[in-house]
Amino acid sequence: MKKRGRPRVDPAERFWPNVEKTDECWIWKGGANKRGYGSFFDGVWNVRAHRYSYELAIGPIPPGLHLDHLCRNTRCVRPDHLEPVTGEENHRRGRAAREEARLKKWAEFAESAGPPPARTDRNSRRENAAFNEST
Ligand SMILES: [Zn+2]
């Protein structure tokens, strides 16, 4: 069957030039919405780039399901980094990821503070006192 009207480039062909494949993630280089998700015009709608990629590679996403980024990279469109989950599950994972990020931040903070000064050094005894006062 031949399509009527002016010939149009297949949206799928327009899609891939916007994707930069790294060893890990396939990064969407096209437009993005306010929440940081890639946005792509499929010829009819503006769709989420990662959803479009998943549907190209795997097939339709069951209604009501969200695509969760296993790599937590919202710009990633690599189909095997995406997993359909219920909205609830996605929220739960989002919270877990935020918690993880918070803990990581703390760990980095603790590391940058360095080890407490050695006790034998006279100068560091003062630092030690300051350290103890501040805690
Ligand atoms: Zn990824």
Ligand 1 centroid to 25 CA: how many Å? 4
Arithmetic mean of pLDDT over the chain: 84
Q: Quote the strand ranges of the chain, DSSP E.
A: 19-21, 26-28, 39-41, 46-48, 65-69, 82-86
Ligand 1 centroid to 81 CA: how many Å? 5
The residue count for the chain: 135
The answer to whether 14 and 30 are in contact (CB under 8 A) is no
| Reported pTM | 0.63
pLDDT digits (tens, 9 = 90+) for 101-122: 888 888 888 888 877 666 665 5
Ligand 1 centroid to 63 CA: how many Å? 23
Ligand 1 centroid to 88 CA: how many Å? 21
Report which of residues 97 and 20 the model is more confident about.
20
End-to-end distance of the chain based on CA atoms, in angstroms? 75
Q: Distance (Å, rounded) from C-alpha 63 to C-alpha 112?
A: 47
CATH of 11-134, one of 3.90.75, 3.30.70, 2.60.40, 1.10.3470: 3.90.75
Ligand 1 centroid to 110 CA: how many Å? 29
**Residue 43 φ/ψ, nearest 5 degrees:** 105, -20
